[in-house]
Structure 1
Amino acid sequence: MKSFQGVRFPLFVAVPLILTLSLLFSALLFWVQGRLSGGPLLLLLLAGTLFFFLIAMGCGGFWVYQDCKLRGEEPVLWVLLCALSYFLILPVYLFRRPKQRALCPECRHPLAKGDRFCTVCGASAQNPVAPPKHHHSAYFLTAILSFILSILCLAGFVYTFFSFAGDLIDQGRQDVTILSQESLIGGVWTVSFHRTSDGYTFRQDLTLPADGAPALQVDAACGTVPEGASLELRLLQGETAVTLDLTDLSQPLVYPLDSFQSGVLSLELQSNGVEDVSVVVALQS
Protein backbone atom coordinates (compact mmCIF):
# COMPACT_ATOMS: atom_id res chain seq x y z
CA MET A 1 0.00 0.00 0.00
CA LYS A 2 2.92 2.26 0.78
CA SER A 3 4.40 1.82 -2.70
CA PHE A 4 0.98 2.42 -4.31
CA GLN A 5 0.61 5.70 -2.47
CA GLY A 6 4.13 6.59 -3.50
CA VAL A 7 3.07 6.20 -7.11
CA ARG A 8 -0.19 8.14 -6.82
CA PHE A 9 1.29 11.26 -5.28
CA PRO A 10 3.77 12.16 -8.10
CA LEU A 11 1.10 11.24 -10.66
CA PHE A 12 -1.18 13.98 -9.33
CA VAL A 13 1.70 16.44 -9.18
CA ALA A 14 3.78 15.79 -12.31
CA VAL A 15 0.99 15.54 -14.89
CA PRO A 16 -0.74 18.82 -13.93
CA LEU A 17 2.70 20.43 -13.70
CA ILE A 18 3.74 19.46 -17.21
CA LEU A 19 0.35 20.43 -18.61
CA THR A 20 0.53 23.78 -16.84
CA LEU A 21 4.03 24.39 -18.20
CA SER A 22 2.89 23.55 -21.72
CA LEU A 23 -0.10 25.89 -21.44
CA LEU A 24 2.07 28.71 -20.09
CA PHE A 25 4.61 28.16 -22.85
CA SER A 26 1.84 28.14 -25.48
CA ALA A 27 0.44 31.39 -24.08
CA LEU A 28 3.90 32.97 -24.07
CA LEU A 29 4.49 31.78 -27.61
CA PHE A 30 1.16 33.20 -28.78
CA TRP A 31 1.92 36.53 -27.08
CA VAL A 32 5.44 36.74 -28.54
CA GLN A 33 4.34 35.73 -32.02
CA GLY A 34 1.97 38.67 -32.17
CA ARG A 35 4.71 41.14 -31.18
CA LEU A 36 8.02 39.68 -32.23
CA SER A 37 9.26 37.77 -35.23
CA GLY A 38 12.47 36.26 -36.46
CA GLY A 39 15.30 35.92 -33.95
CA PRO A 40 13.41 36.26 -30.62
CA LEU A 41 10.69 33.84 -31.71
CA LEU A 42 13.27 31.35 -32.97
CA LEU A 43 15.16 31.54 -29.66
CA LEU A 44 11.95 30.96 -27.71
CA LEU A 45 11.06 27.90 -29.79
CA LEU A 46 14.59 26.55 -29.48
CA ALA A 47 14.51 27.07 -25.71
CA GLY A 48 11.18 25.24 -25.55
CA THR A 49 12.62 22.35 -27.57
CA LEU A 50 15.60 21.97 -25.22
CA PHE A 51 13.52 22.49 -22.06
CA PHE A 52 10.90 19.84 -22.81
CA PHE A 53 13.52 17.45 -24.19
CA LEU A 54 15.55 17.67 -20.97
CA ILE A 55 12.39 16.95 -18.96
CA ALA A 56 11.70 13.92 -21.17
CA MET A 57 15.29 12.71 -20.71
CA GLY A 58 15.20 13.14 -16.94
CA CYS A 59 11.81 11.53 -16.34
CA GLY A 60 12.43 8.78 -18.87
CA GLY A 61 15.82 7.98 -17.34
CA PHE A 62 14.34 7.82 -13.84
CA TRP A 63 11.57 5.48 -15.03
CA VAL A 64 14.08 3.19 -16.77
CA TYR A 65 16.19 3.11 -13.61
CA GLN A 66 13.25 2.06 -11.44
CA ASP A 67 11.98 -0.44 -14.02
CA CYS A 68 15.41 -2.08 -14.22
CA LYS A 69 15.51 -2.46 -10.45
CA LEU A 70 12.11 -4.19 -10.44
CA ARG A 71 13.16 -6.60 -13.19
CA GLY A 72 16.66 -7.42 -11.91
CA GLU A 73 18.44 -5.60 -14.75
CA GLU A 74 21.50 -3.35 -14.42
CA PRO A 75 19.88 0.11 -13.99
CA VAL A 76 22.99 2.29 -14.31
CA LEU A 77 24.02 0.66 -17.59
CA TRP A 78 20.62 1.12 -19.21
CA VAL A 79 20.31 4.72 -18.02
CA LEU A 80 23.73 5.53 -19.48
CA LEU A 81 22.79 3.85 -22.76
CA CYS A 82 19.54 5.83 -22.88
CA ALA A 83 21.45 9.05 -22.20
CA LEU A 84 23.76 8.33 -25.16
CA SER A 85 20.96 7.45 -27.60
CA TYR A 86 17.58 8.09 -26.02
CA PHE A 87 15.47 7.54 -29.15
CA LEU A 88 17.10 4.22 -30.08
CA ILE A 89 17.88 2.56 -26.75
CA LEU A 90 14.58 3.23 -24.97
CA PRO A 91 12.45 1.35 -27.57
CA VAL A 92 15.03 -1.48 -27.50
CA TYR A 93 14.77 -1.68 -23.72
CA LEU A 94 10.95 -1.69 -23.79
CA PHE A 95 11.00 -4.50 -26.36
CA ARG A 96 13.54 -6.81 -24.69
CA ARG A 97 13.06 -6.20 -20.95
CA PRO A 98 12.34 -9.39 -18.97
CA LYS A 99 9.21 -10.07 -16.99
CA GLN A 100 8.95 -8.55 -13.56
CA ARG A 101 10.07 -10.74 -10.68
CA ALA A 102 8.39 -11.32 -7.36
CA LEU A 103 9.71 -9.07 -4.60
CA CYS A 104 11.22 -9.82 -1.23
CA PRO A 105 8.57 -9.17 1.46
CA GLU A 106 11.11 -7.26 3.55
CA CYS A 107 13.36 -5.17 1.27
CA ARG A 108 11.38 -5.40 -2.02
CA HIS A 109 14.44 -6.67 -3.89
CA PRO A 110 13.56 -8.76 -7.02
CA LEU A 111 13.81 -12.47 -6.36
CA ALA A 112 15.18 -14.95 -8.89
CA LYS A 113 13.18 -18.06 -9.69
CA GLY A 114 13.84 -20.72 -7.07
CA ASP A 115 15.24 -18.37 -4.42
CA ARG A 116 14.39 -19.54 -0.91
CA PHE A 117 15.97 -16.51 0.75
CA CYS A 118 16.55 -12.93 -0.37
CA THR A 119 20.13 -12.44 -1.54
CA VAL A 120 20.15 -8.89 -0.15
CA CYS A 121 18.57 -9.02 3.31
CA GLY A 122 18.38 -12.79 3.86
CA ALA A 123 14.64 -12.81 4.57
CA SER A 124 12.57 -15.86 3.74
CA ALA A 125 11.15 -15.85 0.21
CA GLN A 126 8.29 -18.21 0.93
CA ASN A 127 5.70 -15.40 0.79
CA PRO A 128 6.99 -13.05 -1.92
CA VAL A 129 5.23 -9.81 -2.83
CA ALA A 130 3.74 -9.56 -6.30
CA PRO A 131 5.36 -6.79 -8.35
CA PRO A 132 3.22 -3.74 -9.16
CA LYS A 133 1.62 -3.84 -12.60
CA HIS A 134 2.32 -0.13 -13.04
CA HIS A 135 5.03 1.83 -11.30
CA HIS A 136 6.13 5.46 -11.43
CA SER A 137 3.47 6.13 -14.04
CA ALA A 138 3.83 9.88 -13.58
CA TYR A 139 7.41 9.88 -14.80
CA PHE A 140 6.65 7.71 -17.82
CA LEU A 141 3.65 9.85 -18.80
CA THR A 142 5.59 13.06 -18.20
CA ALA A 143 8.41 11.80 -20.41
CA ILE A 144 5.98 11.05 -23.25
CA LEU A 145 4.18 14.40 -22.97
CA SER A 146 7.47 16.31 -22.77
CA PHE A 147 8.86 14.47 -25.77
CA ILE A 148 5.76 15.31 -27.82
CA LEU A 149 6.01 18.97 -26.77
CA SER A 150 9.71 19.09 -27.69
CA ILE A 151 8.90 17.72 -31.16
CA LEU A 152 6.15 20.32 -31.60
CA CYS A 153 8.52 23.12 -30.57
CA LEU A 154 11.16 21.80 -32.96
CA ALA A 155 8.63 21.68 -35.80
CA GLY A 156 7.60 25.24 -34.96
CA PHE A 157 11.27 26.29 -34.97
CA VAL A 158 11.87 24.79 -38.43
CA TYR A 159 8.66 26.30 -39.82
CA THR A 160 9.42 29.73 -38.35
CA PHE A 161 13.01 29.62 -39.59
CA PHE A 162 12.01 28.94 -43.19
CA SER A 163 9.14 31.45 -43.03
CA PHE A 164 11.39 34.14 -41.56
CA ALA A 165 14.18 33.54 -44.07
CA GLY A 166 11.70 33.39 -46.95
CA ASP A 167 10.11 36.68 -45.85
CA LEU A 168 13.53 38.36 -45.79
CA ILE A 169 14.24 37.12 -49.31
CA ASP A 170 10.85 38.28 -50.56
CA GLN A 171 11.48 41.70 -48.98
CA GLY A 172 14.59 42.11 -51.13
CA ARG A 173 17.30 41.43 -48.54
CA GLN A 174 20.59 40.69 -50.31
CA ASP A 175 22.31 38.69 -47.55
CA VAL A 176 19.98 35.76 -46.87
CA THR A 177 20.57 32.10 -47.65
CA ILE A 178 18.58 29.03 -46.61
CA LEU A 179 20.21 25.65 -45.93
CA SER A 180 23.56 26.58 -47.43
CA GLN A 181 26.75 24.56 -47.02
CA GLU A 182 30.22 25.47 -48.20
CA SER A 183 33.54 23.67 -47.93
CA LEU A 184 37.05 23.77 -49.40
CA ILE A 185 38.94 20.48 -49.11
CA GLY A 186 42.06 19.66 -51.11
CA GLY A 187 41.46 22.40 -53.64
CA VAL A 188 37.86 21.32 -54.24
CA TRP A 189 35.26 24.00 -53.51
CA THR A 190 31.78 22.69 -52.82
CA VAL A 191 28.69 24.88 -52.44
CA SER A 192 25.08 23.84 -51.96
CA PHE A 193 21.96 25.74 -50.93
CA HIS A 194 18.18 25.56 -51.03
CA ARG A 195 17.45 29.20 -51.72
CA THR A 196 19.18 32.60 -51.54
CA SER A 197 18.29 36.22 -52.06
CA ASP A 198 18.87 37.57 -55.57
CA GLY A 199 22.49 38.48 -56.09
CA TYR A 200 23.76 36.47 -53.12
CA THR A 201 27.44 35.71 -53.74
CA PHE A 202 29.65 32.94 -52.37
CA ARG A 203 33.37 33.79 -52.47
CA GLN A 204 36.47 31.60 -52.35
CA ASP A 205 40.14 31.78 -53.33
CA LEU A 206 42.09 29.01 -55.07
CA THR A 207 45.85 28.95 -55.57
CA LEU A 208 47.15 28.26 -59.07
CA PRO A 209 50.46 26.35 -59.08
CA ALA A 210 53.66 27.91 -60.41
CA ASP A 211 54.42 25.05 -62.83
CA GLY A 212 51.66 25.97 -65.24
CA ALA A 213 48.05 27.08 -65.17
CA PRO A 214 45.71 24.08 -64.99
CA ALA A 215 42.11 23.93 -66.09
CA LEU A 216 39.10 24.53 -63.90
CA GLN A 217 36.47 21.78 -63.75
CA VAL A 218 32.99 22.90 -62.73
CA ASP A 219 29.95 20.71 -62.13
CA ALA A 220 26.65 22.40 -61.26
CA ALA A 221 23.05 21.28 -60.84
CA CYS A 222 20.03 23.54 -60.32
CA GLY A 223 16.85 21.90 -59.06
CA THR A 224 14.55 24.83 -59.78
CA VAL A 225 15.21 27.53 -62.39
CA PRO A 226 12.37 30.10 -62.67
CA GLU A 227 12.17 32.26 -65.76
CA GLY A 228 14.95 34.86 -65.75
CA ALA A 229 16.92 33.10 -62.97
CA SER A 230 20.64 32.47 -63.37
CA LEU A 231 23.70 30.98 -61.69
CA GLU A 232 27.06 32.54 -62.59
CA LEU A 233 30.65 31.83 -61.65
CA ARG A 234 33.15 34.69 -61.98
CA LEU A 235 36.92 34.14 -62.16
CA LEU A 236 38.91 37.17 -61.01
CA GLN A 237 42.64 37.88 -60.94
CA GLY A 238 43.92 41.42 -61.21
CA GLU A 239 42.47 43.00 -64.35
CA THR A 240 41.36 39.65 -65.77
CA ALA A 241 37.73 38.67 -65.24
CA VAL A 242 35.74 35.81 -66.78
CA THR A 243 32.07 34.94 -66.19
CA LEU A 244 30.78 31.39 -66.67
CA ASP A 245 27.04 30.67 -66.94
CA LEU A 246 26.21 27.55 -64.91
CA THR A 247 22.41 27.83 -65.06
CA ASP A 248 21.74 25.06 -67.58
CA LEU A 249 24.94 23.06 -67.24
CA SER A 250 24.12 19.53 -68.42
CA GLN A 251 27.62 18.08 -67.96
CA PRO A 252 30.82 19.10 -66.17
CA LEU A 253 32.51 22.14 -67.68
CA VAL A 254 36.29 22.23 -68.15
CA TYR A 255 37.59 25.77 -68.57
CA PRO A 256 41.32 26.32 -69.40
CA LEU A 257 43.09 28.87 -67.23
CA ASP A 258 45.69 29.95 -69.78
CA SER A 259 44.80 33.62 -69.33
CA PHE A 260 45.52 33.50 -65.58
CA GLN A 261 48.89 33.58 -63.84
CA SER A 262 50.09 31.43 -60.95
CA GLY A 263 48.94 32.69 -57.59
CA VAL A 264 45.56 33.46 -56.10
CA LEU A 265 42.48 33.03 -58.27
CA SER A 266 39.31 34.54 -56.76
CA LEU A 267 36.00 32.82 -57.39
CA GLU A 268 32.55 34.38 -57.01
CA LEU A 269 29.43 32.23 -57.32
CA GLN A 270 26.33 34.41 -57.70
CA SER A 271 22.77 33.13 -57.39
CA ASN A 272 19.83 34.96 -58.95
CA GLY A 273 16.59 33.14 -58.22
CA VAL A 274 17.76 29.53 -58.69
CA GLU A 275 16.90 26.97 -55.99
CA ASP A 276 18.21 23.60 -54.75
CA VAL A 277 21.69 24.17 -56.17
CA SER A 278 24.84 22.06 -55.87
CA VAL A 279 28.16 23.25 -57.30
CA VAL A 280 31.61 21.61 -57.26
CA VAL A 281 34.66 23.54 -58.48
CA ALA A 282 38.10 21.91 -58.68
CA LEU A 283 41.48 22.57 -60.27
CA GLN A 284 42.37 20.04 -62.97
CA SER A 285 46.04 19.62 -63.77
Structure 2
Amino acid sequence: MENISVIGAGIMGHGIAQIAALAGYNVVLRDINDDMLEKGLQSIDRSLNLMIRSEKITVTQKDKCLQRIQLKKDLNDSVKEADLVIEAIPEVLSLKQELFQQLDEICSPETILATNTSQLSVTLIGAKVSRKDKIIGTHFFNPVPVMKLVEIINGFETSDETLQTVQNFCHTIGKETVVCRKDTPGFVTTRLLLAQRAEAFRLYEEGVASIEDIDKAMRLAFKHPMGPFQLADLAGLDTGLKALTSMEENYGERFKSPTYLKQMVALGYLGKKSGKGFYEY
Protein backbone atom coordinates (compact mmCIF):
# COMPACT_ATOMS: atom_id res chain seq x y z
CA MET A 1 0.00 0.00 0.00
CA GLU A 2 1.43 3.33 -1.09
CA ASN A 3 -1.34 5.72 -2.11
CA ILE A 4 -3.99 7.06 0.26
CA SER A 5 -6.87 9.35 -0.67
CA VAL A 6 -8.74 11.26 2.02
CA ILE A 7 -12.12 12.68 1.07
CA GLY A 8 -12.99 15.78 3.10
CA ALA A 9 -10.46 18.37 4.28
CA GLY A 10 -12.16 19.22 7.58
CA ILE A 11 -10.71 18.69 11.04
CA MET A 12 -10.67 14.90 10.77
CA GLY A 13 -9.71 14.68 7.11
CA HIS A 14 -6.67 16.93 7.21
CA GLY A 15 -5.49 15.19 10.40
CA ILE A 16 -5.66 11.78 8.71
CA ALA A 17 -3.85 13.16 5.67
CA GLN A 18 -1.09 14.56 7.89
CA ILE A 19 -0.29 11.36 9.78
CA ALA A 20 -0.42 9.24 6.62
CA ALA A 21 1.99 11.58 4.82
CA LEU A 22 4.30 11.68 7.84
CA ALA A 23 4.42 7.88 7.73
CA GLY A 24 5.61 7.98 4.12
CA TYR A 25 2.40 7.46 2.16
CA ASN A 26 1.51 9.47 -0.93
CA VAL A 27 -1.67 11.32 0.03
CA VAL A 28 -4.35 13.10 -1.95
CA LEU A 29 -6.58 15.35 0.17
CA ARG A 30 -9.80 16.06 -1.68
CA ASP A 31 -12.59 18.52 -0.99
CA ILE A 32 -15.18 20.26 -3.16
CA ASN A 33 -14.25 23.63 -1.62
CA ASP A 34 -11.00 25.52 -2.33
CA ASP A 35 -11.22 27.34 1.00
CA MET A 36 -11.53 24.07 2.91
CA LEU A 37 -8.50 22.66 1.11
CA GLU A 38 -6.43 25.75 1.89
CA LYS A 39 -7.56 25.81 5.53
CA GLY A 40 -6.80 22.11 5.80
CA LEU A 41 -3.27 22.61 4.50
CA GLN A 42 -2.74 25.56 6.85
CA SER A 43 -3.89 23.43 9.78
CA ILE A 44 -1.47 20.68 8.78
CA ASP A 45 1.35 23.23 8.60
CA ARG A 46 0.53 24.55 12.09
CA SER A 47 0.32 21.05 13.52
CA LEU A 48 3.68 20.09 12.03
CA ASN A 49 5.25 23.24 13.46
CA LEU A 50 3.99 22.26 16.90
CA MET A 51 5.54 18.83 16.44
CA ILE A 52 8.86 20.47 15.53
CA ARG A 53 8.75 22.66 18.64
CA SER A 54 8.09 19.63 20.82
CA GLU A 55 10.95 17.80 19.03
CA LYS A 56 8.72 15.02 17.73
CA ILE A 57 9.78 15.63 14.12
CA THR A 58 12.46 17.61 12.29
CA VAL A 59 12.11 20.40 9.75
CA THR A 60 13.19 17.95 7.06
CA GLN A 61 10.41 15.54 8.05
CA LYS A 62 7.90 18.37 7.88
CA ASP A 63 9.03 19.35 4.39
CA LYS A 64 8.84 15.76 3.14
CA CYS A 65 5.39 15.37 4.68
CA LEU A 66 4.03 18.42 2.88
CA GLN A 67 5.61 17.28 -0.38
CA ARG A 68 3.66 14.01 -0.15
CA ILE A 69 0.27 15.76 0.12
CA GLN A 70 -1.62 16.80 -3.00
CA LEU A 71 -4.76 18.94 -2.85
CA LYS A 72 -7.46 18.16 -5.41
CA LYS A 73 -11.11 18.95 -6.10
CA ASP A 74 -11.86 16.49 -8.89
CA LEU A 75 -13.04 13.19 -7.42
CA ASN A 76 -11.92 11.01 -10.34
CA ASP A 77 -8.43 12.45 -10.29
CA SER A 78 -8.27 12.19 -6.49
CA VAL A 79 -8.83 8.45 -6.18
CA LYS A 80 -7.73 6.88 -9.47
CA GLU A 81 -4.44 5.59 -7.99
CA ALA A 82 -5.62 5.03 -4.41
CA ASP A 83 -4.98 1.77 -2.60
CA LEU A 84 -7.12 3.01 0.30
CA VAL A 85 -9.77 5.74 0.32
CA ILE A 86 -10.79 7.18 3.68
CA GLU A 87 -14.02 9.18 3.68
CA ALA A 88 -14.25 12.00 6.23
CA ILE A 89 -17.29 13.99 5.10
CA PRO A 90 -20.22 15.10 7.33
CA GLU A 91 -22.16 12.47 9.28
CA VAL A 92 -25.11 12.28 6.89
CA LEU A 93 -25.94 8.76 5.73
CA SER A 94 -27.30 9.78 2.30
CA LEU A 95 -24.17 11.83 1.51
CA LYS A 96 -21.87 8.99 2.46
CA GLN A 97 -23.90 6.44 0.48
CA GLU A 98 -23.80 8.64 -2.62
CA LEU A 99 -20.05 9.12 -2.29
CA PHE A 100 -19.41 5.40 -1.84
CA GLN A 101 -21.42 4.62 -4.97
CA GLN A 102 -19.27 7.09 -6.90
CA LEU A 103 -16.07 5.66 -5.45
CA ASP A 104 -17.17 2.13 -6.33
CA GLU A 105 -17.50 3.15 -9.97
CA ILE A 106 -14.25 5.13 -10.14
CA CYS A 107 -11.73 3.21 -8.05
CA SER A 108 -9.74 0.12 -8.92
CA PRO A 109 -11.54 -3.09 -7.91
CA GLU A 110 -8.76 -3.69 -5.37
CA THR A 111 -9.17 -0.34 -3.60
CA ILE A 112 -10.44 -0.50 -0.02
CA LEU A 113 -13.15 2.03 0.85
CA ALA A 114 -13.14 3.18 4.49
CA THR A 115 -15.47 5.51 6.34
CA ASN A 116 -14.46 7.64 9.30
CA THR A 117 -17.99 7.57 10.72
CA SER A 118 -18.30 7.60 14.50
CA GLN A 119 -21.73 5.99 14.68
CA LEU A 120 -23.46 5.44 11.30
CA SER A 121 -23.77 1.88 10.04
CA VAL A 122 -20.77 0.91 7.93
CA THR A 123 -22.90 -1.73 6.24
CA LEU A 124 -25.55 0.81 5.25
CA ILE A 125 -22.96 3.30 4.00
CA GLY A 126 -21.65 0.66 1.61
CA ALA A 127 -24.96 -1.09 0.94
CA LYS A 128 -25.14 -0.11 -2.74
CA VAL A 129 -21.55 -0.83 -3.75
CA SER A 130 -20.35 -4.02 -5.41
CA ARG A 131 -17.16 -4.51 -3.32
CA LYS A 132 -18.86 -5.17 0.01
CA ASP A 133 -15.89 -7.24 1.17
CA LYS A 134 -13.72 -4.10 0.89
CA ILE A 135 -15.96 -1.76 2.93
CA ILE A 136 -14.75 -0.97 6.44
CA GLY A 137 -14.98 1.65 9.16
CA THR A 138 -11.90 3.53 10.41
CA HIS A 139 -13.01 5.76 13.28
CA PHE A 140 -10.18 8.17 14.08
CA PHE A 141 -10.29 10.49 17.09
CA ASN A 142 -9.82 14.24 17.38
CA PRO A 143 -7.12 15.57 17.26
CA VAL A 144 -5.94 12.85 14.88
CA PRO A 145 -2.18 13.51 15.16
CA VAL A 146 -2.37 13.18 18.97
CA MET A 147 -4.95 10.49 19.69
CA LYS A 148 -3.49 6.99 19.54
CA LEU A 149 -6.60 4.92 18.81
CA VAL A 150 -8.37 3.96 15.62
CA GLU A 151 -11.58 1.99 16.08
CA ILE A 152 -12.01 -0.39 13.16
CA ILE A 153 -15.56 -1.49 12.34
CA ASN A 154 -16.42 -4.52 10.24
CA GLY A 155 -19.31 -4.21 7.85
CA PHE A 156 -21.60 -7.20 7.38
CA GLU A 157 -19.46 -8.60 4.55
CA THR A 158 -16.01 -7.12 5.34
CA SER A 159 -13.37 -9.73 4.58
CA ASP A 160 -10.65 -10.84 6.98
CA GLU A 161 -8.11 -9.71 4.38
CA THR A 162 -9.53 -6.18 4.32
CA LEU A 163 -9.54 -6.03 8.12
CA GLN A 164 -5.92 -7.19 8.33
CA THR A 165 -4.79 -4.75 5.64
CA VAL A 166 -6.41 -1.80 7.40
CA GLN A 167 -5.05 -2.87 10.77
CA ASN A 168 -1.57 -3.01 9.28
CA PHE A 169 -2.01 0.45 7.76
CA CYS A 170 -3.10 1.89 11.11
CA HIS A 171 -0.07 0.40 12.83
CA THR A 172 2.29 1.89 10.21
CA ILE A 173 0.94 5.38 10.95
CA GLY A 174 1.55 4.89 14.66
CA LYS A 175 -1.95 4.01 15.83
CA GLU A 176 -3.30 1.29 18.09
CA THR A 177 -6.53 -0.40 17.04
CA VAL A 178 -9.62 -2.02 18.52
CA VAL A 179 -12.04 -3.97 16.36
CA CYS A 180 -15.79 -3.65 16.55
CA ARG A 181 -16.83 -6.97 15.05
CA LYS A 182 -20.56 -6.20 14.94
CA ASP A 183 -21.78 -3.13 13.04
CA THR A 184 -24.01 -1.86 15.84
CA PRO A 185 -25.01 1.81 16.49
CA GLY A 186 -22.29 3.70 18.34
CA PHE A 187 -19.81 0.83 17.92
CA VAL A 188 -17.62 0.52 21.04
CA THR A 189 -16.24 3.98 21.74
CA THR A 190 -19.17 6.26 20.88
CA ARG A 191 -21.51 4.04 22.87
CA LEU A 192 -19.23 4.22 25.92
CA LEU A 193 -18.61 7.96 25.52
CA LEU A 194 -22.26 8.93 25.15
CA ALA A 195 -23.37 6.69 28.01
CA GLN A 196 -20.91 8.50 30.27
CA ARG A 197 -21.96 11.91 28.92
CA ALA A 198 -25.66 11.16 29.38
CA GLU A 199 -25.04 10.25 33.02
CA ALA A 200 -23.05 13.46 33.54
CA PHE A 201 -25.95 15.43 32.07
CA ARG A 202 -28.33 13.71 34.50
CA LEU A 203 -26.07 14.48 37.48
CA TYR A 204 -26.17 18.17 36.62
CA GLU A 205 -29.90 18.13 35.81
CA GLU A 206 -30.66 16.54 39.20
CA GLY A 207 -28.57 19.15 41.04
CA VAL A 208 -26.10 16.57 42.34
CA ALA A 209 -23.05 18.63 41.36
CA SER A 210 -21.99 21.60 39.25
CA ILE A 211 -20.70 21.30 35.70
CA GLU A 212 -17.25 22.34 36.90
CA ASP A 213 -17.13 19.75 39.66
CA ILE A 214 -18.38 16.93 37.46
CA ASP A 215 -15.63 17.73 34.95
CA LYS A 216 -13.06 18.04 37.73
CA ALA A 217 -14.10 14.67 39.16
CA MET A 218 -13.58 12.93 35.83
CA ARG A 219 -10.20 14.57 35.28
CA LEU A 220 -8.74 13.98 38.71
CA ALA A 221 -10.37 10.71 39.74
CA PHE A 222 -10.08 8.90 36.42
CA LYS A 223 -7.26 10.83 34.70
CA HIS A 224 -9.41 11.91 31.78
CA PRO A 225 -7.77 14.83 29.97
CA MET A 226 -11.17 16.56 29.80
CA GLY A 227 -14.43 16.28 31.68
CA PRO A 228 -17.62 15.30 29.81
CA PHE A 229 -18.91 18.87 29.54
CA GLN A 230 -15.57 20.17 28.29
CA LEU A 231 -15.41 17.39 25.71
CA ALA A 232 -19.00 18.05 24.63
CA ASP A 233 -18.09 21.70 24.04
CA LEU A 234 -15.03 20.71 22.01
CA ALA A 235 -16.94 18.28 19.81
CA GLY A 236 -19.91 20.65 19.31
CA LEU A 237 -23.18 20.49 21.22
CA ASP A 238 -25.16 20.20 17.97
CA THR A 239 -23.08 17.19 16.96
CA GLY A 240 -23.51 15.68 20.42
CA LEU A 241 -27.26 16.22 20.36
CA LYS A 242 -27.58 14.43 17.02
CA ALA A 243 -25.49 11.55 18.33
CA LEU A 244 -27.54 11.18 21.52
CA THR A 245 -30.80 11.36 19.55
CA SER A 246 -29.60 8.57 17.27
CA MET A 247 -28.51 6.44 20.21
CA GLU A 248 -31.83 7.01 21.99
CA GLU A 249 -33.65 5.76 18.91
CA ASN A 250 -31.63 2.55 19.03
CA TYR A 251 -31.16 1.94 22.77
CA GLY A 252 -33.91 3.85 24.53
CA GLU A 253 -34.18 6.21 27.49
CA ARG A 254 -30.65 5.70 28.83
CA PHE A 255 -29.39 7.95 26.02
CA LYS A 256 -32.16 10.56 26.29
CA SER A 257 -30.98 14.14 25.70
CA PRO A 258 -31.77 16.63 28.49
CA THR A 259 -34.11 19.50 27.66
CA TYR A 260 -31.46 22.10 28.48
CA LEU A 261 -29.11 20.64 25.82
CA LYS A 262 -31.80 21.00 23.15
CA GLN A 263 -32.45 24.56 24.28
CA MET A 264 -28.77 25.49 24.15
CA VAL A 265 -28.44 24.16 20.59
CA ALA A 266 -31.59 26.03 19.53
CA LEU A 267 -30.07 29.25 20.90
CA GLY A 268 -26.82 28.69 19.03
CA TYR A 269 -24.74 27.77 22.07
CA LEU A 270 -22.77 25.08 20.28
CA GLY A 271 -19.61 24.96 22.37
CA LYS A 272 -16.12 26.10 21.52
CA LYS A 273 -16.85 26.72 17.83
CA SER A 274 -19.54 29.30 18.67
CA GLY A 275 -17.71 30.81 21.63
CA LYS A 276 -20.20 29.58 24.19
CA GLY A 277 -21.52 26.24 25.39
CA PHE A 278 -21.25 24.86 28.89
CA TYR A 279 -18.25 27.18 29.15
CA GLU A 280 -17.38 30.50 27.50
CA TYR A 281 -14.45 30.78 25.11
> TM-score range, shorter-chain basis?
under 0.3
TM-score in terms of structure 1 length: 0.18
Whose relative contact order is higher, 1 or 2, with alpha carbons under 8 Å and at least 6 apart? 1
Higher helix content, 1 or 2: 2
TM-score in terms of structure 2 length: 0.19
Higher strand content, 1 or 2: 1
Q: Which has the larger radius of gyration?
A: 1
